[in-house]
Amino acid sequence: MNIIERIIKSDKDIFDGKSNLQKISLDRLRVNPIPNSKNEIWRQTNKSKFSRFLDFKFSNDFYYPQIPGHSNIQNTCRIIIGENKRIDLKEKKWEIKELEEDEILNFLKQKIIQSDTTQNWSNLLNHFLTDRKNIVGLNISGKDIPYLEVICNSVNNFFNSKTIIINIEEGTSVSISQINIGDKNSALSISSYLNIGVDSVVNHGIISFGKNKSHIINTLNVSQYKNSEYNLGSLQFEYDFGRLEININQVEGNAKTNIKGMQITNNNEQISTYANIAFNGPNGFLDQLNKSLANDKSHSVFEGLIIVPQIAQKTDASQLSRNLLLSNYAKIDTKPQLEIVADDVKCMHGATISQLNEDEVFYMRSRGLTLEQASKLQLRSYYQEVISFLPISKERWDLLTLLLKNK
What's phi and psi for 104, nearest 5 deg? -65, -50
Extended beta strands in 225-357, E state: 229-237, 241-250, 256-265, 270-279, 285-294, 299-308, 316-325, 331-340, 346-354
Residues 321-344 have pLDDT tens digits of 999 998 999 999 999 999 999 999
pLDDT at residue 105 is higher than 70 = yes
The SS3 of residue 154 is: coil
Find which of 103-117, 227-241, 370-384, 388-402 is predicted with most confidence, using mean pLDDT: 227-241
Among the residue ranges 30-44, 144-158, 160-174, the one predicted with the least confidence is: 30-44
Confidence band for 306, pLDDT divided at 50, 70 and 90? very high
In DSSP notation, 89-133 reads: EE-SSEEEEEPPHHHHHHHHHHHHHH--TTTTHHHHHHHHH--GG
Q: Are 28 and 124 in contact (CB under 8 A)?
A: yes
Determine the Cα–Cα distance for residues 361 and 365; give it in Å rounded to an integer: 6
Q: Which is nearest to 159 in space by CA: 199, 134, 129?
A: 129
What percent of the chain is modeled with pLDDT above 70? Answer: 89
> What pLDDT does 381 receive?
80
Average pLDDT over residues 148-171: 97
Average pLDDT over residues 102-117: 90
Confidence band for 373, pLDDT divided at 50, 70 and 90? low
Average pLDDT over residues 22-26: 91
Determine the Cα–Cα distance for residues 229 and 361; give it in Å rounded to an integer: 39
Average pLDDT over residues 49-65: 94
Q: Are 315 and 342 in contact (CB under 8 A)?
A: yes
pLDDT at residue 50 is higher than 80 = yes
pLDDT at residue 74 is higher than 90 = no
Average per-residue pLDDT for the chain: 90
Residues 272-282 have pLDDT tens digits of 999 999 999 99
Average pLDDT over residues 391-407: 72
> What pLDDT does 354 receive?
84
